[in-house]
Structure 1
Amino acid sequence: MRLFLMGCVLGVGLSVSGCRKEDPPDAGAIRARVSYATFRPGCLTLTVTDVEDPSRTDTAEIRMEPSARSDVRTVAVLGRAGWSRDLRLTATAHERSCTGPVVARHEITTQVPAVGTHEVELDLRALDLDDDGYVSMDGAFPGSDCNDDDAAIHPAATELCDGVDNNCANGEADAPGGAEYYPDADGDGYGDSNALPNLSCNPPQGYIREGGDCDDRDPAVHPNQAEFICDGKDDNCDNVIDNDPFDVGVTCQAEGNCPGVKQCAGNALTACVSTEVPREWFLDEDGDGHAGTSVGLWCAEPPTGAVETNTDCDESSRFVSGSATEVCDRLDNDCDGLVDEDVADCDPEDWSMTDATPATLVWETVAAYAGNKGWLGGRDGQIAHVDGDTISVVATCPDPWQSSWVASSGRVFMGSGAGKFTTRLPTDSGACDEVDGLADASINGMVGFENGNRVALYAVDSAGRIILWNYEEGAPTQEAPRELTQLYDNLRSIDGTSPYTLFAAGAENVAPGTQRPVVWRGPTQEGGTWEREVRGDAGEERYFYGIRVLSPSHVYVVGAAGLFLERSGTTWTTKPPIMLPTETPADIRALVAFGSKAIYAVSSGTNNIHFFDGTAWSPAFEPSSRMNALSGTGPGDVWVAGDSGALVRWRP
């Protein structure tokens, strides 16, 4: 079978034009009447498809009268060899041209008769009411005219900023003065950056010019603000999560000087987190050459002098370390957990007592040196030198002597209750030379530091003065004692391991007739000031009498009514008091310390020499007289002096 047009040929590679009614051929044919109305097609086509084999298809354009808005075009379709007689005819109208949008389509199925002609109707309907050449957007096959009632509005029109979309595209954005507007659903003044902008001359309802809102559901999230919560979100829409002020992801120094990055550690804060594993480091605080005080975990550059090996189990005592030898001194010298083990003839109760004459002597201060030598000072102007079991009283030394310190050479420095100083060597003879202090206030405590043949002696008095006496051995003249500062408290004791680790203790004047305990810490560098560290409760009639500094991190202070405090690191804590048989706390008048587990003290209410092992007090020895002062060159050389000229020593 052959397929072609009568008057209008339809076939592959053949042109087709509209034609008027003509006589049909002798063979069977289909006469297709294609009509259209109310628009001018830009292109009109007829497609013929073999129903039995849809791959057999032909399309041809139908010629039209350009001026006609309604017309009927007749097309004859004949059979074609190899095709079936069952055909599907599809008429299609395009807007403006054959490449324009389809604005009308009609499809029927029919059969080519064996002889004669079979007529079919294909009707195409579309609206171009304003006759501007563009079909209305309404209908099953919409055209491109957004307003078919106005011939001035169509896709080819010039856009104007007049409140009308003249060219049916993008609102008024392409008009002079048009702009992009964004929906602002959360009302925070910033439009949704994820939404397509509305292009208009004027903002539509709910739209604003400013975009950039990365979360238009949350009015708290918008540009031009700082991040307000550390939550893994971009609160200020700058495409950076949790930046200023949290700075998440910024490099930083983590604990131990480890390199890290900032990460959220809560809604309002960050933490510096490192992937490196720091190591623990230790310092030697007690000066025994072995480190045992942890300074924490460090990746690099630990504190000066820190080492990675812990070889000291007690950094409060220079007599204890991992390589020390066990001796008889009530301490675990070798860090094996045992005290005085395997030490022959070690008797902690083997104290010796020597009485000076006359028995009316009252010793108020004692200073030991060189193993078995020392000095005593007391009331009624009495000073004595001790060499072994021999006590030699100096003939004439006026003033009541309250405090003392002795250099390694045996030179002693003493302070009196009348504000005087004296100093002498064991080889000196004759009366004591008195040196004026700064006033008649009692010099209650002193400590010295040697540097070659020079001694820097620090003293405190009852008027709160910190006094420095620089003494040079063998100099033809000596500097006079001078005031460093005045704290206006009744200072009773001073101690330290260097001029920059000094602590002073006494009573703070709260009001006339009212005092309370106080501890002052000295400057840690040149030109620093004294700082108050401990204050008692207002109105308490209690005092600190004695203070001992083992290291900057280990300080002990004692006083009236059982006062006993320990400074560990930078924290002061209360320790157990000495209890009397009456179940009341004793006044602790003096102490000497060789470590946190080796502290000796004397108190009111009993003649006992008390020993503190780090946990509790116990009697170490009970002399026959009241004891007033303590000293010692080490935990195995303890000196205690007091009434009746008594000197008690433990030298196992």
Structure 2
Amino acid sequence: MVMASVSGCKKEETPPQAGAIRALVSYATFRPACLTLSITDVADPTRTESTDVRVDPNARSDIRTVAIIGREGWSRNLRLVASAHERSCNGPLVALQEVTAQVPEVGTTDVMLALRADDLDDDGYVSAEGQYPGSDCDDTNPDIHPGATELCDGVDNNCVNGEADAPGGATYYRDVDGDGFGDPFALPSLSCIPPEGYVLESGDCNDRDPNVFPQPLELRCDNRDDNCDGQVDNAPFDVGTACMTAQNCGGTRQCTPDQLAAVCSSAEQPVEWFIDEDGDGRAGTSVGLWCANPPGENAVTERTDCDESSRYVFNGATEVCDRMDNDCDGQVDEHIASCDPAAWTSNSDSPNDTQWRAVAPYSGNRGWLAGDASRLAHVDGNTVTLVTGCPGIWRSAWTTNDGRVFLGSSAGTFTTRRATDTAPCVDVAGPGAAQINGIVGFENGNTVTLYAVDSEGRIIRWTHVEGAPTQAAPVLLQQVVSNLRAIDGTTPGTLFAAGTEVVGGSSRPVVWRGPADGGSTWTHENLGTLPSGGFLRSIRALSATRVVAAGDTGLLMELNGTTWTVKPRLTLESMATADIRAMVAFGSKAIYAVSSGSNAIHFFNGETWSSSAPPSHTTHTLGATGPTDIWAAGSTGVLLRWQP
């Protein structure tokens, strides 16, 4: 076959000498960019040809003529197909017409093929509707077609992906649960404005739960990934990570039943641990249940001390004659031959007019006595030697292990001497002029650090260096609003001072605690509500956390840990109360005291008071080197000693 495009309109022509088909291809309401006519031999479909039909680019409707002349070898029955494409031959097929015709033996046969497509707005793009849709999504507006520039104006100008490709457009994600984060796996919406139910942020790993969305931390401890970071119950719960319980047990973090927190859970079983508070090398104070040694403690799991208030009592200790249950077997002084707890010896070598106010024994059955009217004496065994050249009214004394005594006077001055000194005492002025009522010291090599208190609330430190050509003066650490009568401690970091303070016009007992860090600020202790007022006149530190204090109306108090409690008061045989003048203690169950209402030396065993010496002399002061070496001194120069 031979095809030839003859004209753009139908007109009369001279028929060819052989038979032919004149194909009249019409189109209307669009401008085909590519118009094609193809013929196929019906008898043999492998025989096919096609030709491009030239069109007038200015015509939206036209008829084009194509002559089809028979060819040798082809049958006379042909299939004719006319097709039109939008914009180019590679563009969408927008119109197609197919007919079957027979080539006449002679003459010409006309065949009509009508193509119809809508480009109503004449923008060169055919409507996207119909049997053969084009690419124009709005054929009523020439500004809307695939070649248009997309704008953020609420219209899909270029018929592609809505407004997603417009400058200023964005991708929005479906947010079903309304938590502000969209489902990243759902089909997003590309738009200039957020569609209803869509948000800009994606990443919601559970768009059915408003409590699950991307956030810095897990919201609940619920075995789910609440913050969409790919991990379950991580920070702040950190479930499954290794941890230590408050009892030092190794475990892992687990959710609490309310799903609001995680706790360290351990399969280990804690046991009770004990520490040594009184310094006897045995542990008896419980520090609670732990799986390992409590932090900061040197603790053990075996309790080997029945009384942590006394370094003279522990399991397995040797029982001695001292009114104490040394070996923790529940008995006192058992099986000790010739143990006579009432065997006090009297020494009255000093003048009868002497009033001893302070006693300071040291090793070797030696000690010092100090009192009124410049009286000072050194005791060596049964020999009492008066010392001259030390004028003063002495109210307090403390001695080193080798016998150097330090004295405090009623005028706020200090002095010190050894038994071998022959020169007069040197008066050392303190920071005030009030009576020095109590002294305690601590030795460190050749340096002694003393702490003293006076009647005007001064807390004083005096450092003495043995052999130094000059000595530093006593310094004021702090002055409190109290009349202080006594001071004691096991170390410079565990000092306590006792006396009285005036509150609302009435005096009441007071205790001040020294700083543990070596500073100068003392703190007021809470003694609770006391039934009566007056002074605390003596205080003894048994350990860092155990302290006893005694004073007026027989008041005896004990600090155990952080709490002060009132113990049974000292009462006389007449059931009257008496003021405790002085006290020594070797544990909460071994306390000696002298009182204003009796010449007896009283003993407290932890439960009751009793008399430990016959009431033959008035005593003012007590001192001791241990529970088997106790000294009491007082009026008429008396010195009593219990050395069983």
2:484 maps to: 491
Residue 365 of structure 1: how far off its partner (Å): 1.6
2:392 to 389, 394, 399: 399
Q: AA paired with 2:214?
A: P
Change in Cα spacing, 1:181 to 1:425, as seen in structure 2 (3 Å) is closer
Is 2:628 aligned against 1:636?
A: yes
Alpha-carbon distance in structure 2 between the residues aligned to 1:434 and 1:420: 6
1:189 maps to: 180
Q: Deviations over 1:229-266 (max 9, x none)?
A: 55555544444444444444444443465554444456
1:102 maps to: none
2:556 maps to: 564
2:605 maps to: 613
1:422 maps to: 415
Residue 331 of structure 1: how far off its partner (Å): 1.6
2:307 maps to: 314
Q: Deviations over 1:124-169 (max 9, x none)?
A: xxxxxxx99xxxxxxxxxxxxxxxx96489999989999999xxxx
2:565 maps to: 573
2:51 maps to: none
Residue 407 of structure 1: how far off its partner (Å): 1.6
Residue 273 of structure 1: how far off its partner (Å): 3.8
Q: Deviations over 1:186-244 (max 9, x none)?
A: x4434467x84565757665454444445666655543364455555554444444444
Alpha-carbon distance in structure 1 between the residues aligned to 2:133 and 2:616: 124
TM-score by length of 2: 0.66
CA contact (8 A) 2:545 2:560 kept: yes
Q: Deviations over 1:406-455 (max 9, x none)?
A: 12222222111111223233344576543322221111111112233432
1:437 to 426, 430, 436: 430
Shifted more, 447-456 versus 339-348: the winner is 447-456
Shifted more, 233-242 versus 490-499: the winner is 233-242
Is 2:470 aligned against 1:470?
A: no
1:224 maps to: 215
Residue 484 of structure 1: how far off its partner (Å): 3.4
Residue 651 of structure 1: how far off its partner (Å): 1.9
Residue 575 of structure 1: how far off its partner (Å): 2.9
Aligned residues: 507
CA contact (8 A) 2:293 2:300 kept: no
Tell me, what secondary structure is at the counterpart of 1:380? coil
2:543 maps to: 551
Is 2:483 aligned against 1:504?
A: no
Is 2:587 aligned against 1:595?
A: yes
CA contact (8 A) 1:180 1:197 kept: no
Tell me, what secondary structure is at the counterpart of 1:320? coil
2:517 maps to: 525
1:254 maps to: 245
Alpha-carbon distance in structure 2 between the residues aligned to 1:550 and 1:336: 21
Residue 182 of structure 1: how far off its partner (Å): 2.2
Alpha-carbon distance in structure 2 between the residues aligned to 1:489 and 1:268: 51
Change in Cα spacing, 1:237 to 1:442, as seen in structure 2 (3 Å) is same
Q: AA paired with 2:621?
A: A
Alpha-carbon distance in structure 1 between the residues aligned to 2:132 and 2:387: 127
Alpha-carbon distance in structure 1 between the residues aligned to 2:561 and 2:400: 29
Change in Cα spacing, 1:420 to 1:225, as seen in structure 2 (3 Å) is same
Alpha-carbon distance in structure 1 between the residues aligned to 2:604 and 2:589: 6
1:331 to 313, 324, 328: 324
Q: AA paired with 1:503?
A: F
Residue 342 of structure 1: how far off its partner (Å): 1.2
Alpha-carbon distance in structure 1 between the residues aligned to 2:608 and 2:635: 27
Q: AA paired with 2:547?
A: V
Alpha-carbon distance in structure 1 between the residues aligned to 2:466 and 2:279: 26
Unaligned runs of 5+ in 1: 1-64, 68-130, 133-148, 166-170
CA contact (8 A) 1:549 1:555 kept: yes
Tell me, what secondary structure is at the counterpart of 1:334? coil
Q: AA paired with 2:606?
A: G
Alpha-carbon distance in structure 2 between the residues aligned to 1:482 and 1:174: 85
CA contact (8 A) 1:371 1:633 kept: no
1:452 to 445, 452, 471: 445
Residue 349 of structure 1: how far off its partner (Å): 2.6
Change in Cα spacing, 1:640 to 1:197, as seen in structure 2 (3 Å) is farther
Tell me, what secondary structure is at the counterpart of 1:551? coil
Change in Cα spacing, 1:225 to 1:289, as seen in structure 2 (3 Å) is closer
Tell me, what secondary structure is at the counterpart of 2:525? strand
Alpha-carbon distance in structure 2 between the residues aligned to 1:615 and 1:248: 53
CA contact (8 A) 1:514 1:539 kept: no
CA contact (8 A) 1:256 1:300 kept: no
Tell me, what secondary structure is at the counterpart of 2:449? strand
Q: AA paired with 1:507?
A: T
CA contact (8 A) 2:350 2:638 kept: no
Unaligned runs of 5+ in 2: 1-78, 82-115, 118-127, 138-144
2:642 to 629, 646, 650: 650
Q: Deviations over 1:562-592 (max 9, x none)?
A: 5433232344333333245676754333221
Q: AA paired with 2:433?
A: D
CA contact (8 A) 1:516 1:535 kept: no
CA contact (8 A) 1:517 1:536 kept: no
Change in Cα spacing, 1:465 to 1:189, as seen in structure 2 (3 Å) is same
Alpha-carbon distance in structure 1 between the residues aligned to 2:558 and 2:551: 12
Alpha-carbon distance in structure 2 between the residues aligned to 1:320 and 1:155: 108
Is 2:381 aligned against 1:381?
A: no
Q: AA paired with 1:345?
A: S
CA contact (8 A) 2:277 2:308 kept: yes
1:86 maps to: none
| 1:53-452 aligned within 5 A | 151=130, 179=171, 181-185=173-177, 187-191=178-182, 196-197=186-187, 199=189, 201=191, 205-213=196-204, 219-224=210-215, 226-255=217-246, 259-265=250-256, 269-274=261-266, 282-295=274-287, 297=290, 299=292, 303=296, 306=299, 309-355=302-348, 358-395=351-388, 397-428=390-421, 432-452=425-445
Residue 326 of structure 1: how far off its partner (Å): 0.8
CA contact (8 A) 2:598 2:615 kept: no
Alpha-carbon distance in structure 1 between the residues aligned to 2:394 and 2:613: 26
Tell me, what secondary structure is at the counterpart of 1:619? strand
Alpha-carbon distance in structure 1 between the residues aligned to 2:576 and 2:628: 31
TM-score by length of 1: 0.65
Alpha-carbon distance in structure 1 between the residues aligned to 2:295 and 2:80: 95
Residue 282 of structure 1: how far off its partner (Å): 4.5
CA contact (8 A) 1:383 1:394 kept: yes
Alpha-carbon distance in structure 1 between the residues aligned to 2:441 and 2:594: 23
What is the alpha-carbon root mean square deviation over aligned residues? 4.4
Q: Deviations over 1:300-352 (max 9, x none)?
A: 69647555554333332221233421101122222333221111122223333
Alpha-carbon distance in structure 1 between the residues aligned to 2:388 and 2:521: 41
Alpha-carbon distance in structure 2 between the residues aligned to 1:318 and 1:603: 26
Change in Cα spacing, 1:336 to 1:153, as seen in structure 2 (3 Å) is farther
Residue 274 of structure 1: how far off its partner (Å): 4.4
Alpha-carbon distance in structure 2 between the residues aligned to 1:305 and 1:198: 65
CA contact (8 A) 1:172 1:178 kept: no
CA contact (8 A) 2:354 2:372 kept: yes
CA contact (8 A) 1:517 1:534 kept: no
Alpha-carbon distance in structure 2 between the residues aligned to 1:462 and 1:627: 22
2:72 maps to: none
Change in Cα spacing, 1:293 to 1:301, as seen in structure 2 (3 Å) is closer
